[in-house]
Amino acid sequence: MELTALLAEIGTRGVHDPTIIPDSRGYTMFSTDTMIDGQPTQGIQRRHSPDLIHWHYQDQALSGVPADAKDWSQAQGLWAPEVVSGRNEYRLYYAASTFGSQRSAIGLATAADLDAPFIPQGLVLTTEGGQDQRNALDPNVIQDGKRQWLCYGSFFAGIYLAELDPATGMLKKTDDPGVRIAARPRALNNGSIEGPFIYHSPLTGEYYLFVSYDSLAYSYNIRVGRAKQITGPYRDFQGHNLIADDPLTADQVGTKILGSRHFAGESAQLLAPGHCSVLDVGPKQYLVYHNRAVAGGPSFGLVSQLHWTVDGWPVVSPEPVYGAACSISVAQQSVVGDWDVVSLTASTDPIESQRVTLTAADVEQVGPEQFVLVGVGHVNVWQEYDWAIDQPRVVFSGITPQGWGVLGKKAG
């Protein structure tokens, strides 16, 4: 199948910065204002799906940019929505800004139902640059026991975590910007880190901070660190703190699980994946994110399964969710053979797959779907539906000994 045909079928053209919340009929996706049928949207795009595969554009969640957010930021649309269930209501957090500006705001709107219009409730946080260089963008809300937190930030000073009042959804202390939990040096594209999302895994008991590095238009990539406490410190596979201040080594920090890639035989590259969120559906987790097919071109949304390595790191499927053959276990002998493998690095250039042949001596099973592959790394292997060839395929996703993501599709 061609990528254009896939996008026409799944209905996620124009999706940017997506997040998904389950509803009574399936799932609702919220995403940044972009273009629909050649016209810009204002008020957060809303889509619905019965199955996480096929999405129907519904409407805008708000009637436009709230007056207080527009007065502060001059925003023409709203960015990076986050939707959580509050006390007898749904709470939608949004960012209002203009490209490259630090005069930004995070606002709150509420609705009794996910299909209803959201009503603005005021601004949660504003920034305007200045001495601390924070930026009120990309809200993510985390419930941690009885406490609730707002994770936010973009470029400049990095990612912050501030406590919310669960009763109101506003900051617990209005003059407290929170604690910094991730950052990159200003010398690297003004400190190019944004789109934070914290996931607490019941499997490991740890907190995982997902962030996007580099330019959203052409070089985005998704990296992760983990911590014992929600306030950090967050460390990557190699033990590096995600607060990275040295411009000579900062590109090596963060466990990169997804970047620009291209598998042999596929019609298009998948470029600049980023601004992800994590969706729980029963025992499974999914990574919700956007991609591009052309550098600087329009974005589209994808949903891919997350799996967990034997040592507790999240790894993302090389396939978007598509079709029924999803996450089927395979026997060890199915791992032997030829593979097309994308091994990620610090480079933001698209990585072309390379052919790798695995013999029985190269494969050691260490868990239900976990394997150690000689010359590749620790990976999870399963069968999933491959949109490009329109049939089931054995795939893997894992981490190399050097701490980089590695994705594979079995050839033949």
Residues catalogued as catalytic: 17, 194
Report the distance separating Cα 376 and Cα 358, nearest Å.
Answer: 10
Beta-carbon contacts of residue 374 (< 8 Å; ≥ 6 apart): 358, 361, 362, 363
How far from the centroid of its chain's Cα atoms is residue 152's Cα?
14
Quote the CA–CA distance of 216 and 382 in Å, as a whole number. Answer: 30
111 residue type, one letter: A
Dihedral over Cα of 97, 100, 103, 108: its sign: positive
* Cβ atoms within 10 Å, residue 177: 18
Query: What is d(CA 356, CA 379) in angstroms, rounded to the nearest whole number?
Result: 14
Burial 119-133 (b: 16+ CB within 10 A, else e): ebbebbbbbeeeeeb
As a dihedral over the C-alpha atoms of residue 335, residue 338, residue 339, residue 345, rounded to 10 degrees, the angle is 110
Give the CB-side neighbour count of residue 405, counting CA atoms within 13 A.
Answer: 28
Exposure of 368 in the CB half-sphere (CA atoms within 13 A): 5
CA distances from 81 to 91, 106, 179, 182, 227 (A): 10, 10, 22, 20, 25
232-238 contact pairs (CB < 8 A, 24+): 232/161, 232/179, 232/181, 233/181, 234/181, 234/182, 234/207, 234/209, 236/403, 237/313, 237/399, 237/403, 238/402, 238/403
| 395 closest CA partner among 339, 354, 313 | 339
CB atoms within 10 A of CB 63: 14
